[in-house]
Structure 1
Protein backbone atom coordinates (compact mmCIF):
# COMPACT_ATOMS: atom_id res chain seq x y z
CA UNK A 1 0.00 0.00 0.00
CA UNK A 2 1.37 3.42 -0.95
CA UNK A 3 1.24 6.02 1.76
CA UNK A 4 0.63 9.68 1.11
CA UNK A 5 -0.31 12.63 3.22
CA UNK A 6 -4.01 12.55 3.97
CA UNK A 7 -6.01 15.56 2.82
CA UNK A 8 -6.94 17.93 5.62
CA UNK A 9 -9.55 20.57 6.17
CA UNK A 10 -8.67 24.14 5.27
CA UNK A 11 -6.83 26.02 7.99
CA UNK A 12 -9.07 28.24 10.09
CA UNK A 13 -6.76 31.18 9.47
CA UNK A 14 -7.32 30.92 5.71
CA UNK A 15 -10.86 32.31 6.04
CA UNK A 16 -9.64 35.20 8.18
CA UNK A 17 -6.79 35.82 5.75
CA UNK A 18 -9.23 35.97 2.82
CA UNK A 19 -11.39 38.49 4.68
CA UNK A 20 -8.36 40.61 5.56
CA UNK A 21 -7.17 40.46 1.93
CA UNK A 22 -10.53 41.76 0.69
CA UNK A 23 -10.40 44.59 3.24
CA UNK A 24 -6.84 45.42 2.24
CA UNK A 25 -7.84 45.51 -1.43
CA UNK A 26 -10.57 47.99 -0.48
CA UNK A 27 -8.08 50.20 1.38
CA UNK A 28 -5.76 50.02 -1.63
CA UNK A 29 -8.59 51.03 -3.96
CA UNK A 30 -9.29 54.10 -1.79
CA UNK A 31 -5.59 54.95 -1.90
CA UNK A 32 -5.47 54.64 -5.69
CA UNK A 33 -8.60 56.80 -5.97
CA UNK A 34 -7.05 59.53 -3.81
CA UNK A 35 -3.80 59.30 -5.82
CA UNK A 36 -5.74 59.75 -9.06
CA UNK A 37 -7.45 62.77 -7.49
CA UNK A 38 -4.07 64.23 -6.54
CA UNK A 39 -2.78 63.71 -10.07
CA UNK A 40 -5.83 65.49 -11.48
CA UNK A 41 -6.97 62.47 -13.50
CA UNK A 42 -10.42 62.40 -11.84
CA UNK A 43 -12.54 65.01 -10.06
CA UNK A 44 -13.97 64.90 -6.56
CA UNK A 45 -12.87 65.23 -2.96
CA UNK A 46 -10.26 63.05 -1.27
CA UNK A 47 -11.50 60.47 1.23
CA UNK A 48 -8.35 59.78 3.24
CA UNK A 49 -7.85 63.37 4.56
CA UNK A 50 -11.56 63.51 5.46
CA UNK A 51 -11.24 60.33 7.55
CA UNK A 52 -8.05 61.59 9.21
CA UNK A 53 -9.81 64.86 10.14
CA UNK A 54 -12.38 62.80 12.05
CA UNK A 55 -9.62 61.56 14.35
CA UNK A 56 -7.83 64.91 14.62
CA UNK A 57 -8.04 66.29 18.15
CA UNK A 58 -9.40 63.05 19.59
CA UNK A 59 -8.30 62.52 23.20
CA UNK A 60 -8.13 59.37 25.27
CA UNK A 61 -11.25 58.76 27.29
CA UNK A 62 -12.96 56.06 29.26
CA UNK A 63 -13.78 54.25 25.99
CA UNK A 64 -10.11 53.58 25.24
CA UNK A 65 -9.61 50.74 27.77
CA UNK A 66 -12.54 48.58 26.57
CA UNK A 67 -11.53 49.12 22.92
CA UNK A 68 -7.96 48.10 23.78
CA UNK A 69 -9.17 44.95 25.55
CA UNK A 70 -11.36 44.03 22.55
CA UNK A 71 -8.39 44.57 20.21
CA UNK A 72 -6.22 42.38 22.46
CA UNK A 73 -8.80 39.58 22.51
CA UNK A 74 -9.22 39.76 18.71
CA UNK A 75 -5.44 39.63 18.28
CA UNK A 76 -5.12 36.59 20.56
CA UNK A 77 -7.99 34.92 18.69
CA UNK A 78 -6.17 35.48 15.39
CA UNK A 79 -2.95 33.97 16.82
CA UNK A 80 -4.79 30.92 18.17
CA UNK A 81 -6.61 30.51 14.86
CA UNK A 82 -3.32 30.66 12.95
CA UNK A 83 -1.64 28.08 15.19
CA UNK A 84 -4.58 25.67 15.42
CA UNK A 85 -3.80 22.41 13.59
CA UNK A 86 -5.93 21.50 10.61
CA UNK A 87 -8.42 18.71 11.17
CA UNK A 88 -8.36 15.54 9.16
CA UNK A 89 -11.80 14.85 7.68
CA UNK A 90 -10.99 11.71 5.71
CA UNK A 91 -10.73 7.99 6.31
CA UNK A 92 -8.24 5.66 4.65
CA UNK A 93 -9.41 3.12 2.09
CA UNK A 94 -7.57 -0.18 1.82
CA UNK A 95 -6.14 0.10 -1.70
CA UNK A 96 -2.89 -0.25 -3.62
CA UNK A 97 -2.60 3.53 -3.87
CA UNK A 98 -3.41 6.34 -1.45
CA UNK A 99 -7.20 6.61 -1.49
CA UNK A 100 -9.20 8.60 1.03
CA UNK A 101 -12.92 9.16 1.57
CA UNK A 102 -14.35 12.28 3.14
CA UNK A 103 -16.57 11.52 6.14
CA UNK A 104 -19.55 13.00 4.27
CA UNK A 105 -19.03 10.37 1.56
CA UNK A 106 -18.88 7.64 4.22
CA UNK A 107 -22.25 8.88 5.50
CA UNK A 108 -23.70 8.84 1.97
CA UNK A 109 -22.47 5.30 1.39
CA UNK A 110 -23.99 4.20 4.70
CA UNK A 111 -27.36 5.76 3.79
CA UNK A 112 -27.36 4.14 0.36
CA UNK A 113 -26.45 0.76 1.84
CA UNK A 114 -29.22 0.99 4.43
CA UNK A 115 -31.77 1.88 1.75
CA UNK A 116 -30.94 -1.36 -0.13
CA UNK A 117 -32.34 -3.40 2.77
CA UNK A 118 -35.90 -4.55 2.17
CA UNK A 119 -38.30 -2.58 4.36
CA UNK A 120 -36.16 0.54 4.71
CA UNK A 121 -37.88 3.52 3.12
CA UNK A 122 -35.38 6.24 3.87
CA UNK A 123 -32.05 6.52 5.65
CA UNK A 124 -30.14 9.55 6.88
CA UNK A 125 -26.58 9.25 8.12
CA UNK A 126 -23.91 11.27 9.83
CA UNK A 127 -20.32 10.18 10.20
CA UNK A 128 -17.06 10.97 11.90
CA UNK A 129 -13.73 9.28 11.30
CA UNK A 130 -14.60 6.63 13.91
CA UNK A 131 -18.37 6.12 13.78
CA UNK A 132 -21.44 6.22 11.55
CA UNK A 133 -24.92 6.94 12.87
CA UNK A 134 -27.80 5.91 10.62
CA UNK A 135 -31.46 6.80 11.19
CA UNK A 136 -33.85 4.68 9.17
CA UNK A 137 -37.54 5.00 8.42
CA UNK A 138 -38.86 1.45 8.05
CA UNK A 139 -42.19 -0.07 7.02
CA UNK A 140 -42.29 -2.88 9.54
CA UNK A 141 -40.14 -5.08 11.73
CA UNK A 142 -36.75 -4.69 10.07
CA UNK A 143 -33.79 -5.98 12.06
CA UNK A 144 -31.17 -3.38 12.92
CA UNK A 145 -28.54 -6.11 12.62
CA UNK A 146 -29.46 -6.69 8.97
CA UNK A 147 -29.09 -2.96 8.26
CA UNK A 148 -25.78 -2.87 10.15
CA UNK A 149 -24.54 -5.85 8.13
CA UNK A 150 -25.45 -4.17 4.83
CA UNK A 151 -23.64 -0.98 5.88
CA UNK A 152 -20.67 -2.92 7.22
CA UNK A 153 -20.24 -4.83 3.96
CA UNK A 154 -20.26 -1.55 1.96
CA UNK A 155 -17.71 0.04 4.28
CA UNK A 156 -15.48 -3.05 4.41
CA UNK A 157 -12.87 -1.36 2.22
CA UNK A 158 -12.01 1.14 4.93
CA UNK A 159 -8.61 0.51 6.52
CA UNK A 160 -9.95 1.08 10.04
CA UNK A 161 -13.53 -0.14 10.55
CA UNK A 162 -15.98 2.42 11.91
CA UNK A 163 -18.55 1.80 14.62
CA UNK A 164 -22.03 1.63 13.15
CA UNK A 165 -25.10 2.68 15.14
CA UNK A 166 -28.53 2.19 13.58
CA UNK A 167 -31.79 3.62 14.86
CA UNK A 168 -35.05 2.61 13.25
CA UNK A 169 -38.41 4.31 13.30
CA UNK A 170 -41.52 2.64 11.94
CA UNK A 171 -43.57 4.67 9.49
CA UNK A 172 -46.90 5.66 10.95
CA UNK A 173 -49.74 4.36 8.80
CA UNK A 174 -53.09 6.13 8.78
Structure 2
Protein backbone atom coordinates (compact mmCIF):
# COMPACT_ATOMS: atom_id res chain seq x y z
CA UNK A 1 0.00 0.00 0.00
CA UNK A 2 1.44 3.40 -1.00
CA UNK A 3 0.47 6.74 0.37
CA UNK A 4 -0.48 9.45 -2.08
CA UNK A 5 0.71 12.96 -1.50
CA UNK A 6 -1.14 15.99 -2.79
CA UNK A 7 1.46 17.59 -5.06
CA UNK A 8 -0.55 20.69 -5.88
CA UNK A 9 1.80 23.62 -5.25
CA UNK A 10 0.52 26.74 -3.55
CA UNK A 11 0.83 29.64 -5.95
CA UNK A 12 0.67 33.26 -4.85
CA UNK A 13 -1.00 35.52 -7.41
CA UNK A 14 1.21 38.18 -8.98
CA UNK A 15 0.84 41.70 -7.63
CA UNK A 16 -0.81 44.16 -9.96
CA UNK A 17 0.54 47.63 -10.53
CA UNK A 18 -0.89 50.37 -8.35
CA UNK A 19 -3.52 52.52 -10.09
CA UNK A 20 -2.13 55.80 -11.38
CA UNK A 21 -3.58 59.13 -12.50
CA UNK A 22 -3.83 60.17 -16.12
CA UNK A 23 -0.59 61.15 -17.77
CA UNK A 24 0.07 64.86 -18.17
CA UNK A 25 0.49 64.31 -21.89
CA UNK A 26 -3.18 63.30 -22.04
CA UNK A 27 -4.26 66.91 -21.69
CA UNK A 28 -1.67 68.17 -24.18
CA UNK A 29 -2.79 65.48 -26.62
CA UNK A 30 -6.44 66.45 -26.20
CA UNK A 31 -5.65 70.11 -26.91
CA UNK A 32 -3.58 69.21 -29.97
CA UNK A 33 -6.35 66.95 -31.26
CA UNK A 34 -8.80 69.86 -31.09
CA UNK A 35 -6.35 71.99 -33.11
CA UNK A 36 -5.99 69.20 -35.69
CA UNK A 37 -9.77 68.81 -35.95
CA UNK A 38 -10.06 72.57 -36.61
CA UNK A 39 -7.35 72.37 -39.31
CA UNK A 40 -9.17 69.43 -40.88
CA UNK A 41 -12.43 71.40 -40.92
CA UNK A 42 -10.63 74.28 -42.65
CA UNK A 43 -9.16 71.86 -45.21
CA UNK A 44 -12.61 70.40 -45.94
CA UNK A 45 -14.06 73.91 -46.34
CA UNK A 46 -11.21 74.88 -48.69
CA UNK A 47 -11.76 71.72 -50.75
CA UNK A 48 -15.47 72.57 -51.01
CA UNK A 49 -14.57 76.09 -52.24
CA UNK A 50 -12.05 74.76 -54.79
CA UNK A 51 -14.62 72.30 -56.22
CA UNK A 52 -17.22 75.12 -56.37
CA UNK A 53 -19.57 73.40 -53.95
CA UNK A 54 -19.67 76.60 -51.88
CA UNK A 55 -18.79 80.16 -52.71
CA UNK A 56 -15.88 82.12 -51.30
CA UNK A 57 -12.12 82.12 -51.27
CA UNK A 58 -9.98 79.35 -49.72
CA UNK A 59 -8.76 80.31 -46.23
CA UNK A 60 -5.48 78.44 -46.56
CA UNK A 61 -4.58 80.45 -49.67
CA UNK A 62 -5.35 83.69 -47.85
CA UNK A 63 -3.13 82.59 -44.93
CA UNK A 64 -0.25 81.79 -47.30
CA UNK A 65 -0.65 85.14 -49.05
CA UNK A 66 -0.59 86.91 -45.66
CA UNK A 67 2.80 85.46 -44.67
CA UNK A 68 4.34 85.60 -48.16
CA UNK A 69 7.12 88.16 -48.27
CA UNK A 70 7.47 88.62 -44.50
CA UNK A 71 10.86 89.87 -43.32
CA UNK A 72 12.47 89.20 -39.93
CA UNK A 73 10.87 91.41 -37.32
CA UNK A 74 11.78 92.13 -33.68
CA UNK A 75 8.64 90.38 -32.38
CA UNK A 76 9.73 87.05 -33.92
CA UNK A 77 12.41 86.42 -31.25
CA UNK A 78 10.00 86.59 -28.27
CA UNK A 79 7.45 84.56 -30.24
CA UNK A 80 10.08 81.88 -30.92
CA UNK A 81 11.03 81.80 -27.23
CA UNK A 82 7.37 81.37 -26.25
CA UNK A 83 6.90 78.55 -28.77
CA UNK A 84 10.08 76.86 -27.48
CA UNK A 85 8.83 77.12 -23.87
CA UNK A 86 5.46 75.64 -24.86
CA UNK A 87 7.33 72.77 -26.54
CA UNK A 88 9.42 72.26 -23.39
CA UNK A 89 6.27 72.15 -21.26
CA UNK A 90 4.83 69.51 -23.60
CA UNK A 91 7.99 67.38 -23.30
CA UNK A 92 7.99 67.68 -19.49
CA UNK A 93 4.29 66.74 -19.40
CA UNK A 94 5.01 63.67 -21.52
CA UNK A 95 7.94 62.51 -19.39
CA UNK A 96 6.55 63.33 -15.94
CA UNK A 97 5.78 60.15 -13.96
CA UNK A 98 2.14 59.55 -13.19
CA UNK A 99 0.93 59.97 -9.60
CA UNK A 100 -0.22 56.88 -7.72
CA UNK A 101 -3.85 57.28 -6.73
CA UNK A 102 -4.51 54.05 -4.86
CA UNK A 103 -3.56 52.59 -1.51
CA UNK A 104 -2.85 48.91 -1.27
CA UNK A 105 -5.11 46.77 0.89
CA UNK A 106 -3.82 43.67 2.65
CA UNK A 107 -5.22 40.80 0.57
CA UNK A 108 -4.12 37.72 -1.37
CA UNK A 109 -4.82 39.51 -4.62
CA UNK A 110 -4.10 43.09 -5.60
CA UNK A 111 -6.72 45.39 -4.13
CA UNK A 112 -6.37 49.17 -4.01
CA UNK A 113 -8.53 51.96 -2.60
CA UNK A 114 -8.45 55.47 -4.01
CA UNK A 115 -8.38 58.48 -1.68
CA UNK A 116 -12.11 59.19 -1.99
CA UNK A 117 -12.90 55.57 -1.08
CA UNK A 118 -10.62 55.85 1.97
CA UNK A 119 -12.47 59.05 2.96
CA UNK A 120 -15.87 57.34 2.57
CA UNK A 121 -14.70 54.35 4.62
CA UNK A 122 -13.37 56.61 7.39
CA UNK A 123 -16.52 58.75 7.28
CA UNK A 124 -18.73 55.70 7.75
CA UNK A 125 -16.65 54.67 10.77
CA UNK A 126 -16.88 58.17 12.29
CA UNK A 127 -20.64 58.42 11.79
CA UNK A 128 -21.05 55.04 13.51
CA UNK A 129 -19.53 56.41 16.74
CA UNK A 130 -22.39 57.10 19.18
CA UNK A 131 -22.79 60.83 19.73
CA UNK A 132 -21.39 61.98 16.39
CA UNK A 133 -23.94 64.25 14.72
CA UNK A 134 -22.17 64.76 11.43
CA UNK A 135 -18.70 64.39 10.03
CA UNK A 136 -16.70 65.66 7.08
CA UNK A 137 -13.72 63.53 6.04
CA UNK A 138 -10.93 64.30 3.57
CA UNK A 139 -8.21 61.86 2.61
CA UNK A 140 -4.94 62.36 0.82
CA UNK A 141 -2.15 59.92 0.09
CA UNK A 142 -0.72 60.16 3.62
CA UNK A 143 -3.37 61.81 5.81
CA UNK A 144 -7.02 61.45 6.78
CA UNK A 145 -8.57 64.65 8.19
CA UNK A 146 -11.85 64.38 10.12
CA UNK A 147 -14.06 67.27 11.25
CA UNK A 148 -16.86 65.99 13.46
CA UNK A 149 -19.75 67.63 15.28
CA UNK A 150 -20.39 65.72 18.50
CA UNK A 151 -23.11 65.94 21.16
CA UNK A 152 -20.84 65.98 24.20
CA UNK A 153 -17.23 66.54 25.17
CA UNK A 154 -17.12 62.91 26.34
CA UNK A 155 -16.62 61.94 22.69
CA UNK A 156 -12.95 62.78 22.27
CA UNK A 157 -10.82 62.92 19.19
CA UNK A 158 -9.06 59.77 20.47
CA UNK A 159 -12.37 57.86 20.32
CA UNK A 160 -12.93 58.95 16.74
CA UNK A 161 -9.28 58.27 15.82
CA UNK A 162 -9.60 54.72 17.17
CA UNK A 163 -12.74 54.12 15.08
CA UNK A 164 -11.06 55.43 11.92
CA UNK A 165 -7.87 53.43 12.59
CA UNK A 166 -9.94 50.25 13.01
CA UNK A 167 -11.81 50.91 9.75
CA UNK A 168 -8.55 51.52 7.87
CA UNK A 169 -6.79 48.50 9.37
CA UNK A 170 -6.77 46.58 6.04
CA UNK A 171 -4.52 49.20 4.40
CA UNK A 172 -0.89 48.10 4.15
CA UNK A 173 0.36 51.59 5.06
CA UNK A 174 -1.66 53.44 7.66
CA UNK A 175 -2.21 57.17 7.01
CA UNK A 176 -1.88 59.70 9.79
CA UNK A 177 -5.27 60.64 11.21
CA UNK A 178 -6.13 64.18 12.31
CA UNK A 179 -9.41 64.77 14.11
CA UNK A 180 -11.13 68.01 15.06
CA UNK A 181 -14.29 67.86 17.08
CA UNK A 182 -16.84 70.57 17.75
CA UNK A 183 -19.40 70.16 20.49
CA UNK A 184 -22.85 71.17 19.48
CA UNK A 185 -26.24 69.68 19.01
CA UNK A 186 -29.70 70.47 17.80
CA UNK A 187 -31.14 73.53 19.54
**TM-score normalised by the chain length of structure 2:** 0.85
Task: Provide the rounded CA distance (Å) in 2 between the counterparts of 1:148 and 1:65.
Answer: 59
Give the gaps of 5 or more residues in structure 1: none
Alignment partners' CA distance in 1, 2:19 and 2:186: 46
Alignment of 1:1-174 (within 5 A): 2=13, 3-141=15-153, 142-171=155-184
Deviation at 1:72, TM superposition (A): 1.4
Deviates more, 1:61-70 or 1:35-44: 35-44
Alpha carbons 2:21, 2:98 under 8 Å: kept: yes
- How far has the Cα of 1:113 moved from its partner? 1.3
Q: How far apart are 1:166 and its partner, in Å?
A: 0.9
Structure 2: unaligned runs, 5 residues or longer: 1-11
Instruction: Give secondary structure in 2 for the equivalent of 1:67.
Output: helix
The answer to whether the 8 Å contact 2:103/2:113 transfers is: yes
CA distance in 2, matches of 1:60, 1:126: 55
Give the count of matched residue pairs.
Answer: 174
CA distance in 2, matches of 1:83, 1:66: 26
Query: Which of these two proteins has the greater Rg computed from alpha carbons?
Result: 2
Residues 68-124 of structure 1, C-alpha deviations (whole Å, 9 max, x = no match) = 111111111111111000010100111222111101110121122111112222212
SS of aligned partner of 2:54 = coil
Q: TM-score, normalised by structure 1?
A: 0.91
* Bigger shift: residues 80-89 or 94-103: 94-103
